Chain A
Amino acid sequence: MIAKPSLGSKFSIVLATARMRMLNVSRYKGQLFVEILIPIVFAAMPILLGRATGGENAEANFLRNTGTANYQGFMLIGSSTFIIVTFAFWLVGYWIRFEQETGTLEAIYLTPTSRVWNAAGIALYSAIRSLISGSVAYFLGSFIFGVNPFQGQLILALAFILVGLIPLFGMTLMFGALVMKVKEANSLVNLMQWTVSLLMGVFFTVAVFPPLMRLVALAFPPTWMVNGVRSALLGVGYFFGEWYLDLAVLWGFLLISPLLGYWVFSGMERNIRRSEGVGQY
């Protein structure tokens, strides 16, 4: 009889999964380079558009509409957070699909452990990879656009990102359940990454949305994450006025979102195993 895995064994699964995926991606250096390039190019487009639109008044208009005149920093923070959110959707949401495509999903189901530890390993891998890409892009982009990357409260900004990552991964687990059901992973992930980018206000504040849409946007942890980072670094203003109140909301998400994600994912997985089989795609 196979013994029930200990907490140490479960933790080693998380590390082994993350390590395996890191090793895999380290073979594609060009791809890693593109990941740093994406947020910089992505931020450059609204920056250049804004310069042309606002002309000499670009900074003043931007200050009036967003609360900061530093539009380069504002866009860079948005696009660097975008890469973190996108990675979470592609790597965690796409995880089951990836295993299906590489033919390893059924082998994973034969191991005497819960899939949630594999998912945690993928989340760890996604967090490491996206934090490195996002940070390098932010610092390099700051150099290119002439922004001081060390302004504001860096530690507080980092706290918003780290606390926001966990509810984000909980959300992607729910999304992974949808991918498992609908199967068309590429289309869904593409749609989701742009929809979430729009809702979290990647290049603007969510105050521009109509009330109902603003409410939907505020139900997404990335919205609080990106606004927290912008407020900590650029002083655009927290949703509830103080940093600890906004961070408390993220903590609320942190408690609910992973549990909800796990519940939805497990339920969907159980249903699919009973009806059609998870290996089918």
Chain B
Amino acid sequence: MASEGAVLPRRLTGAGALFSSLVAMAGKEFTIMTRYPVEFIASFGQVFALVAMFTLAGLTFAGSPGEGGNFGGVVIYGFILFMFLSDTLWTIGYNIRREQKQGTLEALYLSPASKFASLVSRVSNNLIWTSLLSLAGVWLMSALVGKLPFANPGLGLYLLAMTLSGTFGIGFAFAAITLRVKETGETLANVLQFVLLILCANFFPFSALPVGLQAISRAIPLAYAVDAFRSTLMGYPEGFPELAPIGVEIVIVTIFGLLMPLIGYWSYRAAENHERRSGGLAEY
């Protein structure tokens, strides 16, 4: 029983508390990031190398300068989405794993701060950094292949936001899997990343995929997100979008963006409760 005059711990609930927790946790992640300045320069270098590599690869198939249709737009907009997806899909699980290894995950669970904010804070800085990298990538691609198509920025931004929301959900679900499978999570992440790279056709049009794989792509909401995002920014050239009419794709992406975070967060809490009951939270 609390003695008279003792201060009871304030409950950190509500939007204000959630926001301040998020800001504090993102601030901590930002402080860690600033300790590794080479990482900033290296990530720019990597983006330049990757964009140049795929652009030059595409150009070796073009008959004459300017030939090759929409390949610049297909590659760069797919690449931008791929970078954002990588951030949201894998970073959350990877960071949970890092907290386990550092021995700080249990301490985080003892604090009355929002677990949701804790998960989101893992990627908030990365998203800002990735936005800058995307702009650098677009600039490089324009320098290599000429002016890129850029249409419907408002709808493009909406589709990007919904896609990111959906991939946050997948990120939560993946963090749940990481809690359960521990070290195998990294291998799983790698395999899944490669499978999605092909099935979601980030670096090439869906029409290049064999028919059987196209059928599997049609069952993945993320594939519609890639298709809708790049088709919209390219101004719907002939043959785009490839998987479904744009109206249908917008609906699919919206449902994905609204439902997936709920499903993902629910599965994370379920995995977390299981680990807390079994005492495996700090095991790694």
* A→B interface (CB under 8 Å): 28, 30-31, 33-34, 37-38, 41, 44-46, 48-54, 57-58, 60-62, 64-66, 71, 75, 182, 184, 186-188, 190-191, 194-195, 197-198, 202-205, 208
Pair B58/A190 contact, Cβ less than 8 Å = no
The answer, yes or no, to whether B54 is at the interface (CB within 8 Å) is yes
Pair B38/A37 contact, Cβ less than 8 Å = no
A39 to B42, alpha carbons, bound, how many Å? 23
Pair B38/A61 contact, Cβ less than 8 Å = no
* B→A interface (CB under 8 Å): 36, 38-39, 41-43, 45-46, 49-50, 52-54, 56-63, 68-69, 71, 74-75, 184, 187-188, 190-191, 194, 197-198, 201, 203-205, 207-209
* Chain A interface main SS type: helix
Task: Pick the most buried of B36, B49, B60: most chain A CB atoms within 10 A of its CB.
Answer: B60
Pair B58/A49 contact, Cβ less than 8 Å = yes
Pair B61/A62 contact, Cβ less than 8 Å = yes
**With contacts A62-B60, A202-B53 known, is A49 near B71, CB below 8 A?**
yes
**With contacts A34-B190, A49-B208, A197-B53 known, is A66 near B38, CB below 8 A?**
no
A-B contact pairs, 29 of them (CB 8 A): A30-B184, A30-B191, A34-B194, A38-B194, A41-B197, A41-B198, A45-B54, A45-B203, A46-B203, A48-B208, A49-B57, A49-B75, A49-B208, A51-B204, A51-B208, A53-B58, A53-B62, A53-B68, A54-B63, A186-B39, A187-B43, A194-B46, A194-B49, A194-B53, A195-B45, A195-B49, A202-B53, A203-B60, A204-B56
Residues of B within 8 A of A60 (CB): 63
A33 to B190, alpha carbons, bound, how many Å? 10
Residues of B within 8 A of A46 (CB): 54, 57-58, 203
**With contacts A37-B191, A50-B61, A54-B61 known, is A187 near B56, CB below 8 A?**
no
Nearest-neighbor residue (CB-CB) of B71 within chain A: A53
A45 to B41, alpha carbons, bound, how many Å? 26
Nearest-neighbor residue (CB-CB) of B38 within chain A: A184
A23 to B97, alpha carbons, bound, how many Å? 24
Interchain residue pairs A-B with the least CB separation, the first 3 = A30-B187, A203-B57, A54-B61
**With contacts A49-B54, A52-B205 known, is A208 near B194, CB below 8 A?**
no
Residues of B within 8 A of A54 (CB): 61-63, 68
Q: How far is the CB of B205 from chain A (nearest CB, A)?
A: 5
A58 to B69, alpha carbons, bound, how many Å? 13
**With contacts A48-B204, A53-B71, A188-B42 known, is A208 near B187, CB below 8 A?**
no
Pair B60/A204 contact, Cβ less than 8 Å = yes
Residues of A within 8 A of B208 (CB): 48-49, 51-52
A46 to B58, alpha carbons, bound, how many Å? 7
Nearest-neighbor residue (CB-CB) of A189 within chain B: B42
Nearest-neighbor residue (CB-CB) of A75 within chain B: B57
Pair B204/A45 contact, Cβ less than 8 Å = yes
Pair B42/A28 contact, Cβ less than 8 Å = no
Q: How far is the CB of B177 from chain A (nearest CB, A)?
A: 14
Residues of A within 8 A of B197 (CB): 41, 45
Pair A182/B57 contact, Cβ less than 8 Å = no
Choose among B39, B59, B209 the residue that contacts A184 (Cβ–Cβ < 8 A). Answer: B39
Residues of B within 8 A of A204 (CB): 56-57, 59-60
Q: How far is the CB of A188 from chain B (nearest CB, A)?
A: 6
Residues of B within 8 A of A64 (CB): 63
Nearest-neighbor residue (CB-CB) of A194 within chain B: B49
Task: Pick the most buried of B42, B68, B184, B198: most chain A CB atoms within 10 A of its CB.
Answer: B42
Q: How far is the CB of A263 from chain B (nearest CB, A)?
A: 24
Pair B49/A50 contact, Cβ less than 8 Å = no
Pair B49/A197 contact, Cβ less than 8 Å = yes
Residues of A within 8 A of B46 (CB): 190-191, 194
Q: 5 extra interchain contacts, Cβ-Cβ under 8 A, other than A38-B194, A198-B53? A: A45-B197, A48-B204, A52-B74, A191-B42, A204-B56
A41 to B195, alpha carbons, bound, how many Å? 8
Pair B59/A44 contact, Cβ less than 8 Å = no
Choose among B36, B45, B61 the residue that contacts A58 (Cβ–Cβ < 8 A). Answer: B61
Residues of B within 8 A of A205 (CB): 60
Pair B57/A37 contact, Cβ less than 8 Å = no
Residues of A within 8 A of B42 (CB): 184, 187-188, 190-191
A41 to B200, alpha carbons, bound, how many Å? 13
**With contacts A188-B38, A204-B60 known, is A49 near B204, CB below 8 A?**
yes
Residues of B within 8 A of A71 (CB): 60-61
Pair A191/B45 contact, Cβ less than 8 Å = yes
Residues of B within 8 A of A203 (CB): 53-54, 56-57, 60
Nearest-neighbor residue (CB-CB) of A213 within chain B: B52
